[in-house]
Amino acid sequence: MSQGMSSGRNRIGLLGGAFNPPHLGHLKLAELGLRSLRLDEVWFVPTAKSPHKAEPGLGLDAGARLRLLEAALIGTGFPFRVEALELERGGTSYTVDTLETLCQREPGHAWILLIGGDQLLGLPQWRQVERVLALASLGVAPRPGFAEGLPLMFESRRRDQWSGSPGELVWLPSTELPFSSSGLRTELALGHRPKGLPIQVEAAIQQENYYR
């Protein structure tokens, strides 16, 4: 029996991003979170519009990104699912708004955001970051090529294990995968077949002639 089931609260990991395209690094981060944090499920949350990144020149529309993400999760064998609420809401996607909606909709869950270490330095600038940490915890995986520094405001929140309560920060193992969506888009635009894409995602990209 999982930790979430035994405590009466499902432990849910939330992995947000544009997924433009989804790659093996995303799947590995979700798997690490699932195992290390004893999660019941990981929900992939595609953004409508990121407040932190400019729209990529080779970006896909929301429908295409959603189809690729759904394809990426086929056959993983893990309790992964897509949560499309940010796409349905539209506009700029803020984590605090998503968490408020999820906490109201599913009050029996405990939430932890799964992020890469490259996002740490920008965390203090997130909209209503203190409210975010009142609703969820953070599971952070070091990213190859990025320092593992922790902003001072998060030092007191660091824990060795996630208790299931909000407001904690737990380090995850590194994915040890250097893939980035921007790098993969560049390779695809050049007509290459880059490493790092799930087989079914690569097939869909080739079939639809995306990123050309």
Specify the CATH number for the domain of residue 46.
3.40.50.620
pLDDT at 56 over 50: yes
On whether the CB atoms of residues 80 and 44 are closer than 8 A, the answer is yes
**What is the percentage of the chain residues whose pLDDT exceeds 90?**
79
Token duo for residue 84: 């499309």
Where does the chain have alpha helices with state H? Answer: 3-7, 24-36, 62-72, 85-89, 95-105, 129-135, 181-189, 199-208
Q: Measuring CA to CA, how many Å separate 147 from each of 87, 118, 142, 164, 171?
A: 32, 8, 8, 27, 13
Per-residue pLDDT tens over the stretch 77-113: 999 999 999 999 999 999 999 999 999 999 999 999 9
pTM of the model: 0.92
Q: Establish if 55 belongs to a structural domain.
A: yes
Domain count within the chain: 1
For residue 212, tell me if it sits in a domain: no
Rounded to 10 degrees, the C-alpha dihedral 24/26/28/34 comes to -150
The domain in which residue 154 lies consists of: 3-207
| 15 lies in some domain | yes
Instruction: Please determine, for residue 36, whether its predicted confidence score (pLDDT) is greater than 90.
Output: yes
Average of per-residue pLDDT values in the chain: 91
Between CA 116 and CA 102 the distance in angstroms is 22
Record the tokens describing residue 126, joined without a space: 């997130």
Location of structure tokens 């970051």: 129
| pLDDT tens digits, 152-179 | 888 899 999 999 999 999 999 999 998 9
pLDDT at residue 145, as a whole number: 58
